[in-house]
Chains A and B, each alone.
Chain A
Amino acid sequence: MNVAYYPGCVAKGGAPELYRSVKLILEPLGITPTELFDAACTGAGVLTERNPLLADALNGRTFAMAEKRGMPIMTICSTCTGTMLACNERLQDAGYRGRVNELLAPEKYEYQGTTQIKHLLWILVEGVGLERVRALVRRPLSGLRVAPFYGCYLVRPSALVSADHPDRDTYLEQLVAALGGEPVEYESARKCCGFPVITMNRDAGLRMTGRNIEDAKSHGADVMVTPCPLCHLNLDGQQHEAARALGVPLGVPILHLPQLIGLAFGFTPRQLGMSHHLVRPGAVLERYAESATV
């Protein structure tokens, strides 16, 4: 499957392990990425808030790049996905699209409105298929209790995200099971990680992060998995501070989605870049330290 790969800013900045682990798993999955090196940031909703036309122009430019290649866009970030979906929805209006295309004209881009936006998670379930994923598992995650953490924009607003695929809010659980792990059910799986307010109201952002992790842990999670690097920045990067703020021990390793898949495919935590994490993979992932790829 050919996809126009949009890694987003964080995978090439604060979460290099995400970029690296995606690279490792795409080939066995039969996904051939063409990276959109020249695509700009989606604006993560912040630009939309400031100037919707500007955000739509930057994203329209990216959509046009994919359209030209006749490929769907593959994202690896919940926030990028949500922002793009909302922009793409506005760009379905031909009149408005015309205004945006005027801004893209100097570069000779003209978006027709046909590009599909899909998170890697959606491609795995809807395109590749969980049967094929299951067949690629070299080392089932037996006994590993994995708490899914979606990130808001992969589940809300449902009118935009899941109108045609009502089960998208269960894909992580399905995937964890397909990899041989045990999905943990807990209330916070679809809540906000606290990242968007972390610079505005640090205490509140830490409380959100801490409580989500505490909830997962109290339901028996060994690790959490997220398809959003911004969630990762908070759940992993701020976990120590969150634990201190709440006065509870946490210490739950947070895995990016492709890292969890990579473990099941036989790659080691080291190969998957987990040494970049602030919370070390620890004892729970020790048995994955030897590579099992064939």
Chain B
Amino acid sequence: MEVKLSVQRCHPDARPASWWQDYTVDVPEHATVLDALLAVRDDQDETLTLRCSCRSHICGSCTMRINGRSTLGCKTKLDAARARLREGEPIRIQPAGNMAVIKDLAVNLEGFFDKVKAVTPYLQPTGPEPEREYIVPNEAMLTVREAMACILCGACVSACNSLEAEPRFLGPAALAKAWRFTEDPRDGRDAERLEFLSSVPGGIWDCTHCFACVEVCPKDVRPMERILELRRRSMEAGFTDNNGSRHSQAFLDTISRSGRLDETRVAMRSVRGPSELLEWTPVGVKSFLRGKVPLRHKPIPGALRVKAIFAAAEAQGRRDSKRGAR
């Protein structure tokens, strides 16, 4: 089967440093995008640089963007890659995003691993050491195992919308890893971990909730969901002196009071003190002048009944977490 590929080449010393190169390659129908790229390298252009090893989505080396989507080259069949293309349109291949390109499809992973290391990615037990191994209940490991499936391929980091705008963001892979240790019953440093993750620049509150990482993870780790859980746990642990917690609490309060979101109140209560509020003033004034700030926040008719649901659900939540703690 003949396949057209358009590869974004990159060589920092070349001028221009980046250009698109088209290849046509003959590969079997069941082949993957990685197979096609390797065929190009073997038969047509030995200067094409890419990483790969296992070819069976275990090693996490061949992360790239295929038609704009971050994924593993070895996990993407050519059929799937071509499914939504127009007749004759080539499959577009680019290096992983949010990482500096060394050459062609090989990116610099140092920053990626630095962030993984920053979350102390190993068990830190406290208390007396058991005589033999640590015994954990199976159920406790079932959820932890979901995040342990991570193969550190960086597809989530490549796709992360927050990282594009905030390079300090620890990112989905590192934070899913952090979650994995806060969930592990053998680890005793939950409080320190949560404090760090909620206060460090680029911590859990910089996730923009876009689902890009959930969408692309080849192992269904669902990093964003882990980050949201870290937020909840950090608030429960009392690490609330940050705009994220303030926003969350203000949000909860306005809905509890009126059944509806009061954007103005939430925005005002989310920021840290008068200096930050001042930054918001020009937008606030303009919005007011354009009639975008309602003078009176009107509750929904059943606001009191919604309030009762809040009380009942929160009591239920407390009972659940007590049961969980036992």
Contacts and interface: CB of A to CB of B under 8 A. Distances in A.
Contacts of B90: none
A194 B162 CA distance: 8
B255 A40 contact: yes
B78 to A, nearest CB: 18
Interface in A1-55: 9-10, 12-16, 37-41, 43-51, 53-54
A83 to B, nearest CB: 11
B241 interface: no
Contacts of B266: 199
A278 B292 CA distance: 9
A10 B260 CA distance: 9
A232 to B, nearest CB: 10
Nearest to A16: B291
A241 B251 contact: no
B208 A13 contact: no
Interface in A124-174: 152-153, 156-158
Which of B248, B297, B316 has the largest number of chain A CB atoms within 10 A?
Answer: B316
A57 interface: yes
A37 B251 CA distance: 20
Given A49-B232, A192-B208, A201-B206, A9 B252 contact: no
B263 A14 contact: yes
Interface stretch (B35-43, B114-122, B307-315): B307-315
**What is the predominant secondary structure among interface residues of chain A facing chain B?**
helix
A197 B211 CA distance: 14
A215 B206 CA distance: 22
A202 B312 contact: no
Given A54-B317, A107-B302, A208 B208 contact: yes
**What is the predominant secondary structure among interface residues of chain B facing chain A?**
helix
A141 B211 CA distance: 33
Interface residues of B, number: 66
A93 interface: no
Interface residues of A, number: 61
B291 A47 contact: no
Contact of B262 (A13, A199, A208, A211): A13
Contacts of A275: 290
Nearest to B313: A54
A106 interface: yes
Contact of B302 (A12, A38, A57, A278): A38
A160 to B, nearest CB: 9
Given A156-B215, A197-B162, A9 B243 contact: no
A205 interface: yes
A14 B287 contact: yes
Contacts of B251: 43-44, 46-47
B80 to A, nearest CB: 12
Contact of B316 (A49, A53, A233): A53
A177 interface: no
A57 B313 contact: yes
Contacts of B248: 46, 49-50
Contact of B259 (A15, A41, A153, A238): A41
A285 interface: no
A44 B290 contact: no
Interface stretch (B48-56, B182-190, B278-286): B278-286
Contacts of A233: 263
A50 B313 contact: no
B231 A49 contact: yes
B29 interface: no
B209 to A, nearest CB: 5
Interface string A51-63: 1011001100100
B232 A50 contact: yes
Interface string B17-46: 000000000000000000000000000000
Contact of A41 (B209, B255, B267, B271): B255
B270 interface: yes
A37 B261 contact: no
24 contacts: A9-B261, A10-B261, A40-B302, A41-B260, A43-B251, A46-B248, A47-B251, A50-B235, A58-B306, A58-B309, A99-B316, A103-B312, A103-B316, A104-B309, A194-B165, A196-B210, A197-B208, A200-B205, A202-B279, A204-B166, A204-B169, A240-B286, A277-B290, A278-B287
* Leading 6 A-B pairs by shortest Cβ distance: A156-B211, A54-B313, A9-B261, A199-B270, A192-B210, A204-B166
Given A9-B260, A15-B292, 7 more contacts: A40-B302, A106-B308, A152-B212, A197-B206, A199-B247, A276-B292, A277-B290
Interface of B: 68, 161-162, 164-166, 169, 205-212, 214-215, 228, 231-232, 235, 242-244, 247-248, 251-252, 255, 259-264, 266-267, 270-271, 276, 279, 282-283, 286-287, 290-294, 297-298, 300-302, 305-306, 308-310, 312-314, 316-317, 320
Interface of A: 9-10, 12-16, 37-41, 43-51, 53-54, 57-58, 61, 99, 103-104, 106-107, 152-153, 156-158, 187, 191-192, 194, 196-197, 199-205, 207-208, 211, 233, 237-238, 240-241, 275-278
